[in-house]
Structure 1
């Protein structure tokens, strides 16, 4: 139990300090809990840490779609009970500013194992959360680049956008190690992109031709 508590504190502290850095706070604002809400800079860093550890869309998924209990969410995200309580309070206040008493009652009930009230609140705001999440998703070009950085090789089977030759140039912009090409056979074709530092031109072509045969 002590190890779990220590890890929870460590996770929060690391994210909290990262918040100070990214938010360009000056000086030493070290803290280990979210109890200290008096200092504005501490409050900002605490919010940053809470959002980083418990994003809106993750809470929506776990609470609304997966119907996880308060304890299950707390344990899976490795946060303290108090941190999750205040995170839910801030999140629901943001989207339901006119339902202060209802929000507190719903969270208290959720902690006690009754989720009907909090599910109703999430039901009313889920579309907003999903819409905002989609706005921050990386572009498909960046998704392709990220995938190639992990695997070294991707094709138009997973990313149909590669079939548009205009995207080839965009993919190679600021990524001198990436190359794109096309293979075709019997009316079928595959466009592929690869990291030349991980695959030679010949090896990448063979991988693409193999996938083409399997189509």
Structure 2
């Protein structure tokens, strides 16, 4: 059974771990390269909310493999304070996160100076706020792919925290207090 699992999941890509140094953090990064296709470009992964590592606990790997089969290098990093990345993702604003993505794109251009590759962005959930900011400040983006992008940060935050509270058995009074505290937090 183990042999079938190992051979059945032989990803058609190669991985390389790199440390990308930004102005504020060192980001532990994974790059996946096509094994057989000519490189057409790079896809920079933009995480959603939460303490996420570069591969989303290997959940991104099938997507990275699909991109590799199309000739794209995927770039994704542990969020600051996760894995070997320095910093604390909880201290980042959406603008900070957009600046981080832009610095990674700058790193790609410096590391591959003679390449005229297309650069795209992929993201889900909270990346729906980050990617438009990146595209506004970075004119080298060829395309963006968004999966279930979040639209309203306050509504998403309230929904998530209420869901967590209900899951742990909170009373209606506690849930209402959470809603009010969240509204106050987002109105700052």
Scaled to the shorter chain, the TM-score interval is under 0.3
TM-score by length of 1: 0.25
| Greater helix share, structure number | 1
Structure label with greater radius of gyration? 1
